[in-house]
């Protein structure tokens, strides 16, 4: 029997639905995901009511791919400038979900950066938290394992964009992010390769 309590969201509808639900939050919005860029951080801060607590659980910039590191730093800087916001990091995090007032959950394949939300072929489910009785306990466990983000930079870059300083970083990350953890695992397996790079790897071995 088809469920009327859950919706499947695809490319073009994910971010708009997220924004609409965040605007209705009265207590708390929680974002969980390994990769967040400034584009998504700005959309989240703009949509989340000023009186609602915003909690963010993500990886530290040092644990993401070098090409994405600056985008992550910019996102965390944006969250840091918002009052009533808590940010924690957990470097092995892979879960991707959002909770609104602990009543609505978004979960699926999409990461919280522009390419994944607008161009990549992702599916995100939106439904009631009450349908997943242990969900809040699992999320609480991840939160308890994480470290409070104190705003340290992972490099000596001269500048990280703030809300008043727009830059190309603010337009979001427009490519797929390769997970360094997955890349390390692939490198340790003989014959493994990332789709689209096998030919290059063979040439390099000749």
Shared domain for 77 and 29, answered yes or no, is yes
pTM for this model (two decimals): 0.84
Is pLDDT of 164 > 80? no
Classify strands 85-89 and 124-128 as parallel, antiparallel or unpaired: unpaired
- b/e map 160-187, b = 16+ CB within 10 Å: bbeeeeeeebbebbeeebebbbeeeeee
* Domain-embedded: residue 136: yes
Shared domain for 93 and 119, answered yes or no, is yes
* Domain-embedded: residue 2: no
Shared domain for 119 and 28, answered yes or no, is yes
User: What tens digit of pLDDT does each residue of 11-52 get?
Assistant: 899 999 999 999 999 999 999 999 999 999 999 999 999 999
Q: Are 154 and 77 in contact (CB under 8 A)?
A: no
Shared domain for 171 and 181, answered yes or no, is no
CA-based angle 126:85:116, to the nearest 5?
Answer: 40
> Mean of the pLDDT values across residues 167-189?
79
Shared domain for 93 and 190, answered yes or no, is no
* Domain-embedded: residue 113: yes
Find the helix or strand (DSSP H, E) in which 14 lies: helix 14-23
Shared domain for 116 and 195, answered yes or no, is no
Q: What is the pLDDT of residue 180?
A: 81
Q: Is 94 left (phi over 0), alpha (psi -120 to 50) or beta?
A: alpha
Shared domain for 26 and 37, answered yes or no, is yes
Q: What is the pLDDT of residue 159?
A: 45
The total of structural domains in the chain comes to: 2
Q: What is the pLDDT of residue 179?
A: 80
* Domain-embedded: residue 54: yes
User: pLDDT band at residue 3, thresholds of 50, 70 and 90?
Assistant: low
Shared domain for 127 and 54, answered yes or no, is yes
Q: Are 138 and 46 in contact (CB under 8 A)?
A: no
* Domain-embedded: residue 190: yes
Q: What is the pLDDT of residue 154?
A: 55
Q: What is the pLDDT of residue 152?
A: 65
Enter the DSSP assignment of 43. Answer: H
Shared domain for 115 and 194, answered yes or no, is no
Q: What is the pLDDT of residue 172?
A: 93
The domain of 44 spans 7-175
Lowest mean pLDDT: which of 45-49, 78-82, 198-202?
198-202
Shared domain for 91 and 27, answered yes or no, is yes
Enter the DSSP assignment of 178. Answer: P
Q: What is the mean pLDDT of the chain?
A: 87
Share of the chain above pLDDT 90, in %: 71
* CATH number, residue 165: 3.30.870.10
* Domain-embedded: residue 1: no
Shared domain for 182 and 161, answered yes or no, is no
CA atoms of 88 and 54, how far apart (whole Å): 11
Shared domain for 47 and 90, answered yes or no, is yes
* Domain-embedded: residue 59: yes
Q: Are 163 and 78 in contact (CB under 8 A)?
A: yes
Q: What is the pLDDT of residue 188?
A: 83
Q: Are 44 and 84 in contact (CB under 8 A)?
A: no
Is pLDDT of 136 > 90? yes
Q: What is the pLDDT of residue 189?
A: 84
């Amino acid at each position: 029997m088809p469920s009327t309590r859950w919706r499947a969201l695809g490319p073009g509808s994910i971010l708009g639905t997220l924004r609409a639900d965040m605007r209705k939050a009265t207590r708390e919005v929680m974002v969980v995901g390994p990769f967040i860029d400034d584009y998504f951080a700005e959309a989240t801060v703009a949509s989340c009511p000023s009186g609602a607590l915003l909690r963010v659980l993500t990886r530290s910039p040092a644990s993401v791919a070098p090409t994405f590191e600056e985008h992550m730093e910019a996102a965390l800087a944006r969250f840091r400038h918002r009052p009533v916001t808590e940010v924690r990091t957990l470097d092995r995090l892979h879960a991707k979900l959002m909770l609104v007032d602990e009543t609505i959950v978004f979960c699926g394949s999409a990461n919280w950066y522009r390419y994944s939300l607008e161009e990549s072929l992702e599916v995100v489910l939106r439904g009631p938290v009450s349908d997943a009785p242990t969900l809040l306990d699992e999320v609480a466990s991840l939160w308890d394992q994480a470290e409070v983000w104190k705003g340290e930079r992972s490099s000596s870059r001269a500048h990280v964009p703030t809300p008043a300083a727009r830059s190309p970083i603010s337009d979001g990350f427009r490519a797929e992010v390769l997970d360094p953890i997955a890349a390390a695992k692939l490198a340790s397996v003989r014959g493994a390769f990332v789709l689209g790079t096998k030919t290059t790897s063979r040439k390099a071995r000749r």
